[in-house]
Amino acid sequence: MIQLKNLYKIFYDNSKKEHIVLKDISLKIEEGELVLLQGVSGSGKSTLLHILAGLLKPTKGLVLVEGENIASYSDYHASLYRSKKVAYIAQSFHLFDELSVEQNLLAPLVIKQLSMQEINAAIQKALEIANIAHKADEKVANLSGGEKQRCVIARAVVNDADIILCDEPTANLDRQNSLKFIGIIEKLKESGKTIIIATHDPLFQELKCVDREFHLKEGQLE
């Protein structure tokens, strides 16, 4: 279970002016739920996902994942948390264009000290989940936008993370590829993953597997 308690995130500009990005956020997300974070650009969706991923620390408040306050983690322990518990899918692909699809999946596995047999098995499973196995040896630079997004999904799930965070994942996709992405998300939901999607894409509102929706406005839950 994920639980946020009285969460604030405040940034300061060069003139030390205070900007409250998240204000007094409290919510619970049960294991295996698929929830949507909705709101216009600048409402705080991405910041909230970054905090859940351990990429940002809140200014104050608790971020409890399975009872542990990840906001108190050191950088090292936050990195371990991400490698074991969290998969992050962003709207920007952040792939290595000159490497193959399969080679892009190696990075999340390097620090896990797995055997080559275990690594190959994990990569093959992730490629199949993301429906990109037929492009395993292709350089990322030669892929279409939809194929790159499926490569991002494969890289995100290769470590078999329990929590999948998606930040506007269909923002750079056409309708056909967005529907393919949604199909993969539905399968991940069926496998018991906890999935949080920040989006304003109306396609997600049509999903029957969405358990709940949270709406952010100017950093607050409506």
Cβ atoms of 188 and 125 closer than 8 Å: no
Contacts of 210 (CB under 8 A, 6+ apart): 34, 35, 36, 204
Domain ranges of the chain: 2-221
For 74-133, the pLDDT digits (tens) are 999 998 898 889 989 887 788 999 999 999 998 778 777 788 888 899 999 999 988 899
Contact 140, 96 (CB under 8 A): yes
What tokens appear for 222 in the block? 């409506």
For 87, phi and psi rounded to 5 degrees?
-115, 135
- Please report the beta strands in the chain, taking only residues with DSSP state E, as ranges in sequence order: 2-12, 18-29, 34-38, 60-65, 68-69, 86-90, 163-167, 194-198, 212-217, 220-221
Confidence of residue 194 (pLDDT cuts 50, 70, 90): very high
Q: Provide the 10 A C-beta neighbour count for residue 98.
A: 9
Look at residue 63 in the predicted model and tell me its pLDDT.
Answer: 97
Q: What crossing angle do the helices spanning 175-190 and 116-129 adopt, rounded to 10°? A: 120
Q: Are 210 and 35 in contact (CB under 8 A)?
A: yes
Name residues whose C-beta falls within 8 Å of residue 102's C-beta, 6 or more positions apart in sequence. Answer: 123, 127, 136, 137
CATH code for residues 2-221? 3.40.50.300
Beta bridge partners of 46: none
> What's the first-to-final CA gap in the chain, in angstroms?
22
DSSP state of 115: -
Whole-angstrom Cα distance, residue 208 to residue 182? 11
Over residues 14-71, the pLDDT tens digits come to 888 888 999 999 999 999 999 999 988 889 999 999 999 999 999 999 999 999 999 9
Alpha helices in 69-141 (DSSP H): 75-85, 101-104, 107-110, 116-129
